[in-house]
Amino acid sequence: MIDLEVPKKFRPLVAQARGMAEEVFWPISRKYDRAEHEYPAELDLVSAVIDGLSDSGAGQGAGASSSTRAKDDGATEGDVAAVGSGRRAKGERENKNGSNLSSVLSILETCRGDVGLTLSIPRQGLGNAAIAAVATEEQKARYAGKWAAMAITEPEVGSDSGAIRTTAVKDGDEYVINGEKIYVTAGERAELVVVWATLDRSLGKQAIKSFVVRRDNPGMRLVRLEHKLGIRASDTAAFSLEDCRVPAEDLLGDPEIRIEGGFGGAMQTFDNTRPLVAAMALGLTRASLDRTTELLAEAGVVPDPDRPAATQPAAAARLLQMEADYQAAYLLTLRAAWMADNGKPNSMEASMAKAKAGRTCVEVSLACVELAGATGYAETELLEKWARDSKILDIFEGTQQIQLLVIARRLLGYSSRELK
């Protein structure tokens, strides 16, 4: 049985992340929401603290850059001991509480402070998680310490990653990349961009690979920065790639086109990053619930989990229902991260966590604005900002509809060709 208490070795990291959210992010959250596209200079100190934790080993993985895929050793569901407990029954294999779980726990806390600021922390980008998921050991060492963004989405090719049109053509010891990428989180600020491209359009998704492109590559041109509803502290870029030459060694993972399961390497990125995005949604949900609970308590409304919801004020009953939704999303997210740490296929669980957490985040943040009334709608509170920030967490890394499609395919045993 899995014990879903926070492992003892991660508790200092969680406490550090919580302190960062409350003492660093909350005071500057409104400032950088208004100053869209301005780099938050305070994050340089935050980054230095994270680097110190990681170097000392105390951090146990302090962000997306540390999220990685554990080697699958063939363990089955019954082989795994209790998470965090250290207890093992006879015949059970050792359980791993690794960087995926620690990343989820720390990101949840920092996003309780501000999602946009979390996405803007140097060297903690989703591209870093992509590198950790599929890069070779040599590549991981070469890109260590670099800030990587991830470029998947294209004009007219949104949620269907398999329909990517950006091409990569081998030319000697290089690949020549041509295409367009939009909605690249941290695209302007990052040092590297992980670009998804196809080696052969006629082969469909099996030919899609990811390439690490240096931000200063002359073949990759910044077209614009997007003005957005939420996460305004985080820059979101659009790029044009024109005869962009990339060394062959910067193709992540296996360069061969595998007709059977060839897309799996690229898609494994999502198995790592979707639990991280779910954790972001959980952090924002937790912040909204905590602040709304405080505001309602000041008005004399205090929910009692030991009493039937029907016997309590409507606002209290609503809070209890939203707390239950939060806990369900939280447990799904921990499970998906734990499976990655223990080398278990987690594609379905990662999509479940992302779908539930993203939907819960939007519903809870909007409901909290409603429950707080005029206070929730005004800029005197962060509730209205959290409501604006929430929607992206139900969209990027795969929309709600895409997550449900992935889950259905896994449950029913259908391929993407059989169930669209």
| Catalytic machinery residues | 397
Q: Tell me 170's DSSP state.
A: E
Q: Is 275:97 a contact under the CB 8 Å cutoff?
A: no
Q: Is 121:235 a contact under the CB 8 Å cutoff?
A: no
Q: Is 209:191 a contact under the CB 8 Å cutoff?
A: no
Q: Is 103:17 a contact under the CB 8 Å cutoff?
A: no
CA separation for the pair 258, 413 (Å, rounded): 21
| Helix or strand holding residue 168 (H, E) | strand 167-171
- Of 147, 133, 211, residue with least CA distance to 397: 133
Which long-range contacts does 343-348 make (Cβ < 8 Å, 24+ apart)?
343/69, 343/70, 343/71, 343/72, 343/73, 343/75, 344/72, 344/75, 344/77, 345/72, 345/271, 346/271, 346/275, 347/267, 347/270, 347/271, 347/406, 347/410, 348/406, 348/407, 348/410, 348/411
- CB neighbours (10 Å) of residue 223? 12
Q: Is 359:200 a contact under the CB 8 Å cutoff?
A: no
Q: Tell me the β-bridge partners of 154.
A: 157
CA separation for the pair 383, 376 (Å, rounded): 5
Distance set, CA 169 to CA 200, 202, 211, 215, 222 (Å): 8, 13, 12, 20, 22
Q: How many residues does the chain have?
A: 420
CA separation for the pair 338, 355 (Å, rounded): 17
Strand, helix or coil for residue 220: strand
- CB neighbours (10 Å) of residue 192? 22
Strand, helix or coil for residue 390: helix
Q: Is 257:246 a contact under the CB 8 Å cutoff?
A: no
